[in-house]
Amino acid sequence: MLTDLPKSKDIMENPMGFPTSFELPIIKDLTKYKNTLYAPAHVTTNWDGYKTHLTSVRPSFKPRVLLMGHDMSEIENITLMALGGVVREMNGIPYYLLVGPQNVHLTLEAIEKNQPEWLGISLYTGLTTYVFEWLIQYKMDKARSITKKNISDFKTADKLLKGMVRESNGPVYEGNKLVYAPVIIGGHYNNYNFKDSWERGGEYVVRGKGINIFRDILLGLYSPGIYHDPMPYANIPRMDRGKFYKDTFEFSDETKKYALSRIKSILTALGCSYSCTYCYVSSLIDNLREAYSEVGVRPPSIIQDRLLETVVQEGEEILALDHIYGVKTTAVFDQADISLNNMKWWGQLKNQWLERVGIPFYIQARPAMLAGKKGKERIEMISDKGLVAGISMAIESGNPKIRKLLLDRHENNDTILDAIHNVKDSNIPLRTQSIVGLPVLRPSQVVNPIQSKLSLIDKKGEEFYYDDPIQESLTCLELVCSSNFGKEDYYWNALYSPFPGTPLGDYAVASGFADDDTDAHAYQFTTDSGLTCFTGITLKRQIAFSQTSNFFAHFKNGKDLMVLFLYGNNNFQLSDFAEFVETRAGFFKPHERPTQFGIIPNINQNMLLKFIDDVYPEKDNKFKSINVKLVGYYLGLLDGLLLAAKIADQYYEFKEQEKEFTLADLYRVERIHYYDNSYNMAYIPERFENFLRPLIHDSRVPAMRTG
């Protein structure tokens, strides 16, 4: 019954803990996909109880699932760990595999070794081509092997295997022998390109959240198809971190990084109440509204907190695994799309987390949550006793009209400045986020309202296009420069990537600025823009802006300095930037606000020159000369002497590999340097320990490592 769906202010838990029978929820066929309308009685919130229940009623049910994802991310894959938690609580065995284009072929070995009954694939947007190429070949080989026929095209093989899976509602056996494991595909990619995932090999394609659907697929309740769960349950079981670390640690040197990382990830809540046009998650509100269109009641909040005890247990498991792998986790990144939504929940979490775990959080919050009296109260609560090590806050553009018309973000600049002020009053490191290269040019073709509802023309008919897109990027830099941004704060940015299926991605396509090839678009950090409308000197300036804007953000006149740099040069190599820093150092107007962060404070020009002279012999005179010119750069940023050491360390690593050190490399070392501080991971490069250790401030020694 549709009336059984949860309503506004309902507690999003199953009062019985879990369903005692195996049946599908209400399914609404929308043609493009099927909505699975789970009522509270259909979901599992007591996973320990469910595990015991399954043991008693289906003792032989022990699903084996190979969960596959990308090895590109520095951050552990919480999606796979969450799904692995479902498999574990269903008395099954999850196996994990993270691969890239160079070793995706090893998936066959993992399948042969573990004999999984299911293959689950989690995809990141823009990183899909090599996965689908492997999957197409895999399915063709499987179809030939099973039928003993020379099948020559993928569509025939795919149709055949889907028919077999539909007949069995799960794994395909010949007698007692497993001959085919159905493919389940999910991840943000499928928020909009679910049809493509179906056509390219998925037996089961899960759009968006997958906990409830995944459980019932494993139980054999679903036939092959495309499914979407719009209900905002936060019923993720305790993540399967232990097995994920074990499998990835044993698989390759590349994937050892997850167990050995000093920053781990967690989810405190699910959902997002905002509708930012560049983000797939913005569809959640529309999804929920669509699901309740015929119910006649208000839906529950799109944002739901996870069970507090489950979150604390995950923190305790991080501590236990640290002991096993000889690591000390220094910060836990809360990957909730919006942290601090429910301060009552955080108030309950605070003491338990600090007593039982003690690792500070790094969180993401919106300006409106951090501004004003309420924002100040939030920040004061989380800054007490070091519960939070840092905050990430997205601004995206400094032009309120661009934020409103193009991005569907409605904060005004005063709110943003007040939010920064409140964070800095509590002395918490802040990371502001911005987008470089938004599609702010006049469209090259007429935009059909059917293709896109966005426009840079307001209701009064006033236009807000830019002739020069760099000028729009400068507005955000200018806004941050006018705040009390500190040395410990980081100005993060990325070049815009148009994701087809998001409102802004569709606008970029409709405007003639991009194609609709989802495979071609991934987040851009130092490479070219994802839009085709930016070329020549404009594109070079955008990339240079993205690579240098954090430095300029630390000066009151940072916007003017950036203008001088971008429009006074035609080339933007490392040597060009160093030349600019040296010749324009007299114009720099740093913020007066002192910082309490950094392990070698109060450095001066002489200390830097002595270090540079000490570490670069005559044969490295060219790079030494660049570093001498960069003295003003080091003085303007947090822990500049330590940053100079990290850059020297990277330079010598590259030299051994016969690689050139570029402006993009300077940007990357600088970015990670700021991350190190935000996540309490300060360290000194081992090769420069003798020079640097005597200079370390005594109070920072316990938090410092040599690396």
Q: What pLDDT is stored for residue 652 in this prediction?
A: 97
Point out the least confidently predicted range of 67-81, 432-446, 689-703: 689-703
Q: Is it the case that residue 524 has pLDDT exceeding 60? A: no
Confidence tier at 703 by pLDDT (50, 70, 90): very low
Determine the average pLDDT of the residues in 606-627: 96
Q: What kind and span of H or E run contains 674?
A: helix 663-678
Determine the average pLDDT of the residues in 500-528: 79
Domain end: 242, 272, 291, which one? Answer: 242
For 227-244, how does the pLDDT look when each residue is reduced to its tens digit (9 = 90+)?
999 999 999 999 999 999
CA distance 220 to 206: 15
For 378-420, how does the pLDDT look when each residue is reduced to its tens digit (9 = 90+)?
999 999 889 999 999 999 999 999 999 999 999 999 999 999 9
Q: Is it the case that residue 3 has pLDDT exceeding 90? A: no
DSSP string, 232-286: ------S--HHHHHHHHHHH-SGGGHHHH-SEEEE-SEE------TT-GGGHHHH
In a domain, 110, yes or no: yes
Determine the average pLDDT of the residues in 601-607: 90
Check: CB of residue 25 under 8 Å from CB of residue 215: no
Q: Radius of gyration of the chain from Cα atoms?
A: 26
Phi, psi of 98, deg, nearest 5: -115, 120
Q: Which residue range(s) make up the domain with 70?
A: 25-40+63-242
In a domain, 223, yes or no: yes
For 100-120, how does the pLDDT look when each residue is reduced to its tens digit (9 = 90+)?
999 999 999 999 999 999 999
In a domain, 454, yes or no: no
For 305-315, how does the pLDDT look when each residue is reduced to its tens digit (9 = 90+)?
999 999 999 99
In a domain, 165, yes or no: yes
In a domain, 622, yes or no: yes
In a domain, 215, yes or no: yes
More confident residue, 124 or 34: 34
**Prediction pTM value:** 0.93
**How many distinct structural domains can be found in the chain?**
2
More confident residue, 693 or 669: 669
Determine the average pLDDT of the residues in 319-323: 98
How many CB atoms neighbour CB 151 within 10 A?
19
CA distance 108 to 112: 6
Determine the average pLDDT of the residues in 17-25: 95
114 by Cβ neighbours in 10 Å (0-12 / 13-18 / 19+) ranks as middle
Q: What pLDDT is stored for residue 1 in this prediction?
A: 60
Handedness of CA 214, 217, 221, 226 (dihedral sign): positive
Q: What pLDDT is stored for residue 296 in this prediction?
A: 85
In a domain, 4, yes or no: no
In whole numbers, what is the pLDDT of the chain averaged over residues?
A: 93
Q: What pLDDT is stored for residue 701 in this prediction?
A: 47
For 450-477, how does the pLDDT look when each residue is reduced to its tens digit (9 = 90+)?
889 899 999 999 999 999 999 999 999 9
Q: What pLDDT is stored for residue 696 in this prediction?
A: 86
Q: Is it the case that residue 525 has pLDDT exceeding 80? A: no
Domain end: 211, 242, 273, which one? Answer: 242
In a domain, 310, yes or no: no
Domain end: 242, 263, 296, which one? Answer: 242
Confidence tier at 182 by pLDDT (50, 70, 90): very high
Provide long-range contacts, Cβ within 8 A and 24+ apart, for 665-672.
Answer: 665/574, 666/547, 666/574, 666/577, 667/526, 667/546, 667/547, 667/548, 667/550, 668/526, 669/643, 670/550, 670/551, 670/637, 670/643, 671/490, 671/492, 671/550, 672/646
Name the pairing type of β-strands 172-174 and 177-180. Answer: antiparallel
- The closest of 54, 83, 68, 62 to 171, measured between CA atoms, is 62
CATH number at residue 73: 3.40.50.280
